[in-house]
Amino acid sequence: MLHYSCGAFNDSMSNGLYSFTNPAFVSFAGYSTAAVLKMFGIAAYTIGQRFRTKTFATPEDDVYKQLVSSLLGSESGLDGGSGARGRGRDCMNAVVERVRGNHLNDLENIIPFVLIGLFYVGTQPKYDCALWHYRLFLLSRLVHTIAYQVPLPQPTRTLSWLIGYATTISMALRVFKIIIY
Protein backbone atom coordinates (compact mmCIF):
# COMPACT_ATOMS: atom_id res chain seq x y z
CA MET A 1 0.00 0.00 0.00
CA LEU A 2 1.32 3.43 -0.91
CA HIS A 3 1.70 6.09 1.72
CA TYR A 4 1.46 9.71 0.65
CA SER A 5 3.05 12.25 2.94
CA CYS A 6 1.88 15.26 0.95
CA GLY A 7 -0.69 17.02 3.10
CA ALA A 8 -2.37 18.74 0.15
CA PHE A 9 -2.95 15.40 -1.58
CA ASN A 10 -4.34 13.76 1.56
CA ASP A 11 -6.60 16.75 2.25
CA SER A 12 -7.98 16.80 -1.29
CA MET A 13 -8.77 13.11 -1.18
CA SER A 14 -10.28 13.13 2.30
CA ASN A 15 -12.55 16.10 1.67
CA GLY A 16 -13.88 14.57 -1.52
CA LEU A 17 -12.55 16.97 -4.17
CA TYR A 18 -11.98 14.10 -6.58
CA SER A 19 -15.03 12.06 -5.69
CA PHE A 20 -18.52 11.88 -7.08
CA THR A 21 -19.80 13.67 -4.00
CA ASN A 22 -18.23 16.91 -5.29
CA PRO A 23 -20.61 18.52 -7.82
CA ALA A 24 -17.74 20.34 -9.59
CA PHE A 25 -15.92 17.04 -10.09
CA VAL A 26 -19.11 15.28 -11.22
CA SER A 27 -19.73 17.98 -13.82
CA PHE A 28 -16.10 17.94 -14.90
CA ALA A 29 -16.21 14.15 -15.27
CA GLY A 30 -19.37 14.35 -17.37
CA TYR A 31 -18.31 17.19 -19.67
CA SER A 32 -14.75 15.97 -20.15
CA THR A 33 -15.99 12.44 -20.87
CA ALA A 34 -18.41 13.86 -23.44
CA ALA A 35 -15.53 15.80 -25.06
CA VAL A 36 -13.33 12.69 -25.18
CA LEU A 37 -16.19 10.63 -26.66
CA LYS A 38 -16.68 13.36 -29.29
CA MET A 39 -12.98 13.05 -30.11
CA PHE A 40 -13.34 9.26 -30.40
CA GLY A 41 -16.30 9.86 -32.72
CA ILE A 42 -14.16 12.02 -35.00
CA ALA A 43 -11.49 9.28 -34.99
CA ALA A 44 -14.10 6.74 -36.08
CA TYR A 45 -15.41 9.17 -38.70
CA THR A 46 -11.85 9.52 -40.04
CA ILE A 47 -11.63 5.75 -40.44
CA GLY A 48 -14.99 5.71 -42.17
CA GLN A 49 -13.89 8.42 -44.61
CA ARG A 50 -10.66 6.53 -45.34
CA PHE A 51 -12.68 3.44 -46.25
CA ARG A 52 -15.27 5.40 -48.19
CA THR A 53 -12.61 7.12 -50.29
CA LYS A 54 -10.17 4.18 -50.29
CA THR A 55 -7.52 6.59 -49.03
CA PHE A 56 -5.07 4.85 -46.73
CA ALA A 57 -1.91 6.28 -45.21
CA THR A 58 0.42 3.28 -45.27
CA PRO A 59 1.23 0.54 -47.81
CA GLU A 60 0.12 -2.24 -45.45
CA ASP A 61 -3.35 -0.69 -45.30
CA ASP A 62 -3.78 -1.11 -49.07
CA VAL A 63 -5.26 -4.55 -48.40
CA TYR A 64 -8.39 -2.71 -47.31
CA LYS A 65 -8.83 -1.27 -50.81
CA GLN A 66 -9.61 -4.77 -52.07
CA LEU A 67 -11.95 -5.38 -49.15
CA VAL A 68 -13.84 -2.16 -49.82
CA SER A 69 -14.05 -2.96 -53.54
CA SER A 70 -15.39 -6.44 -52.87
CA LEU A 71 -17.98 -5.15 -50.39
CA LEU A 72 -19.08 -2.10 -52.37
CA GLY A 73 -18.26 -3.29 -55.85
CA SER A 74 -15.57 -1.86 -58.06
CA GLU A 75 -17.74 1.17 -58.79
CA SER A 76 -17.92 2.61 -55.29
CA GLY A 77 -17.90 6.12 -56.69
CA LEU A 78 -14.55 6.98 -55.20
CA ASP A 79 -11.20 5.58 -56.19
CA GLY A 80 -8.76 6.91 -53.65
CA GLY A 81 -7.12 10.14 -52.83
CA SER A 82 -5.32 12.71 -54.86
CA GLY A 83 -2.00 14.26 -54.02
CA ALA A 84 1.01 12.71 -52.37
CA ARG A 85 2.78 12.65 -49.06
CA GLY A 86 5.98 11.15 -47.77
CA ARG A 87 7.13 8.34 -50.06
CA GLY A 88 5.01 9.57 -52.94
CA ARG A 89 2.01 7.53 -51.83
CA ASP A 90 -1.40 8.43 -53.18
CA CYS A 91 -2.84 8.87 -49.70
CA MET A 92 -4.27 12.37 -49.45
CA ASN A 93 -7.89 13.18 -49.97
CA ALA A 94 -9.57 16.51 -49.20
CA VAL A 95 -12.42 14.85 -47.27
CA VAL A 96 -10.07 12.69 -45.20
CA GLU A 97 -7.69 15.57 -44.58
CA ARG A 98 -10.55 17.77 -43.34
CA VAL A 99 -11.59 15.12 -40.82
CA ARG A 100 -7.97 14.47 -39.83
CA GLY A 101 -7.48 18.20 -39.27
CA ASN A 102 -10.55 18.24 -37.05
CA HIS A 103 -9.25 15.24 -35.10
CA LEU A 104 -5.81 16.81 -34.68
CA ASN A 105 -7.44 20.00 -33.39
CA ASP A 106 -9.42 17.91 -30.89
CA LEU A 107 -6.20 16.28 -29.66
CA GLU A 108 -4.57 19.69 -29.28
CA ASN A 109 -7.49 21.08 -27.26
CA ILE A 110 -9.38 18.31 -25.46
CA ILE A 111 -6.38 16.63 -23.83
CA PRO A 112 -5.13 19.92 -22.29
CA PHE A 113 -8.69 20.69 -21.13
CA VAL A 114 -8.92 17.35 -19.32
CA LEU A 115 -5.50 17.73 -17.69
CA ILE A 116 -5.97 21.37 -16.67
CA GLY A 117 -9.52 20.54 -15.57
CA LEU A 118 -8.24 18.01 -13.04
CA PHE A 119 -5.98 20.66 -11.52
CA TYR A 120 -8.79 23.20 -11.72
CA VAL A 121 -11.13 21.00 -9.66
CA GLY A 122 -8.39 20.96 -7.01
CA THR A 123 -8.66 24.75 -6.67
CA GLN A 124 -12.19 24.32 -5.30
CA PRO A 125 -13.82 26.71 -7.77
CA LYS A 126 -17.35 27.96 -7.24
CA TYR A 127 -19.65 25.38 -8.75
CA ASP A 128 -21.45 27.79 -11.11
CA CYS A 129 -18.16 29.14 -12.41
CA ALA A 130 -16.76 25.65 -12.94
CA LEU A 131 -19.94 24.47 -14.64
CA TRP A 132 -19.85 27.37 -17.11
CA HIS A 133 -16.22 26.62 -17.93
CA TYR A 134 -17.11 23.00 -18.70
CA ARG A 135 -20.24 23.89 -20.67
CA LEU A 136 -18.51 26.56 -22.75
CA PHE A 137 -15.65 24.24 -23.59
CA LEU A 138 -17.86 21.36 -24.73
CA LEU A 139 -20.18 23.65 -26.67
CA SER A 140 -17.20 25.30 -28.37
CA ARG A 141 -15.81 21.89 -29.42
CA LEU A 142 -19.18 20.78 -30.80
CA VAL A 143 -19.60 24.01 -32.78
CA HIS A 144 -15.99 23.76 -33.96
CA THR A 145 -16.60 20.23 -35.27
CA ILE A 146 -19.77 21.24 -37.09
CA ALA A 147 -18.07 24.34 -38.51
CA TYR A 148 -15.12 22.23 -39.67
CA GLN A 149 -17.14 19.41 -41.25
CA VAL A 150 -20.04 21.28 -42.90
CA PRO A 151 -18.01 23.68 -43.47
CA LEU A 152 -19.50 26.87 -42.07
CA PRO A 153 -18.13 30.27 -43.10
CA GLN A 154 -15.39 31.87 -41.05
CA PRO A 155 -15.10 33.20 -38.41
CA THR A 156 -17.42 30.50 -36.98
CA ARG A 157 -14.70 27.90 -36.61
CA THR A 158 -12.13 30.41 -35.38
CA LEU A 159 -14.45 31.88 -32.76
CA SER A 160 -15.52 28.45 -31.51
CA TRP A 161 -11.87 27.41 -31.19
CA LEU A 162 -11.01 30.67 -29.43
CA ILE A 163 -13.81 30.22 -26.88
CA GLY A 164 -12.61 26.71 -26.00
CA TYR A 165 -9.00 27.84 -25.86
CA ALA A 166 -9.84 30.83 -23.65
CA THR A 167 -11.85 28.57 -21.35
CA THR A 168 -8.88 26.27 -20.81
CA ILE A 169 -6.54 29.24 -20.32
CA SER A 170 -8.96 30.70 -17.75
CA MET A 171 -8.87 27.46 -15.77
CA ALA A 172 -5.07 27.30 -16.04
CA LEU A 173 -4.75 30.87 -14.74
CA ARG A 174 -6.86 29.97 -11.70
CA VAL A 175 -4.57 27.00 -11.04
CA PHE A 176 -1.50 29.26 -11.25
CA LYS A 177 -3.16 31.86 -9.02
CA ILE A 178 -3.75 29.24 -6.32
CA ILE A 179 -0.19 27.89 -6.66
CA ILE A 180 1.44 31.33 -6.51
CA TYR A 181 -0.58 32.72 -3.61
Whether 135 shows a pLDDT value over 60: the answer reads: yes
Cβ contact 71:175 at 8 Å: no
Task: Give the model's pLDDT for residue 75.
Answer: 52
Task: Give the model's pLDDT for residue 136.
Answer: 99
Structural fold of domain 34-48+93-180: Four Helix Bundle (Hemerythrin (Met), subunit A) (1.20.120)
Q: Which of 48 and 87 is assigned the larger pLDDT?
A: 48
Distances (CA, A) of 70 to 18, 46, 53, 74, 87: 51, 21, 14, 7, 27
Whether 156 shows a pLDDT value over 80: the answer reads: yes
What are the pLDDT digits (tens) for 72-130? Answer: 765 544 544 444 444 444 557 899 999 999 999 999 999 999 999 999 999 999 999 99
Task: Give the model's pLDDT for residue 90.
Answer: 53
Whether 63 shows a pLDDT value over 50: the answer reads: yes
Q: Residue 142 and residue 73: Cα distance in Å, rounded?
A: 35
Domain range summary for the chain, segments of one domain joined by +: 34-48+93-180
